Amino acid sequence: MNIRIISMMLVMMLTSLTSHAQLSTEAQAVISNIMTRASVRGFVEKPVEQDKIDIMLRAAMAAPTDKNMQPWHFIVLNTPDAIAQYAGEGRHAERMKKTPLIIVVCADTTRMQDGEVRNIWVQDISAATENLLLAAHALQLGAVWTTIYPLAQRIEGVQKKLNLPANLIPMCAIRIGYPNPERPAQPKDKWDENKVTYFTVKK
């Protein structure tokens, strides 16, 4: 389906929902940003401004985190040399090298809980990453989440390429830039009422 048609459908759906709920202008903007975000994989050759990088990082660090451990650390790659070092020579290397900005989201093992709750860091880092993606979209940037953790080979490869200290576990890399209009992203309406159950207590 044409991206323009899908975008119009999403706008109509959002208008209907927000009108029914009588949301404020600010709330409508937030909901619209969430619902229209899409994974962008093609970028124009234009650097991402430092102030926008700062906003995205601040948004990421505003995420909820269990026990306020804040187990995140962000590696920012915004030079051609740094990005080429990360891209390496793999199957997607050339596409990766054309990305203006890559932020590798890591977990810091020195800021994790002990025992069976240790792996809660995965939830914390995921929340921070989603904040980053939404901030990028709000700033008229495109972004896509690329997986590293829990694939051991990828984790070790990124640690080696970026010379990361032993306490940093790379979880994902976010490719960011100004979207290439020739490779438009396509927002998806993922709503499915069959995936919702309202729990009720029988009396």
pLDDT in tens, 88-104: 987 778 889 999 999 99
The token pair that represents 116 in the structure block:
């069976």
DSSP 171: E
Q: Are 80 and 47 in contact (CB under 8 A)?
A: no
Return the closest-CA partner of residue 121 out of 85, 149, 102: 149
Q: Which helix (H) or strand (E) holds 133?
A: helix 121-138
Low-confidence ranges of the chain (pLDDT < 50): 1-3
What per-residue confidence (pLDDT) applies to 9?
58
What per-residue confidence (pLDDT) applies to 39?
95
What per-residue confidence (pLDDT) applies to 19?
56
What per-residue confidence (pLDDT) applies to 93?
87
What per-residue confidence (pLDDT) applies to 35?
93
3-state secondary structure 140-178: CCEEEEEECCCCHHHHHHHHHHCCCCCCEEEEEEEEEEC
Count of C-beta atoms within a 10 Å radius of residue 143: 30
What per-residue confidence (pLDDT) applies to 1?
44
The token pair that represents 177 in the structure block:
């830039």
What per-residue confidence (pLDDT) applies to 14?
60
What per-residue confidence (pLDDT) applies to 12?
59
Give φ, ψ of 62 to 5 degrees: -85, 0
CATH number, span 40-177:
3.40.109.10
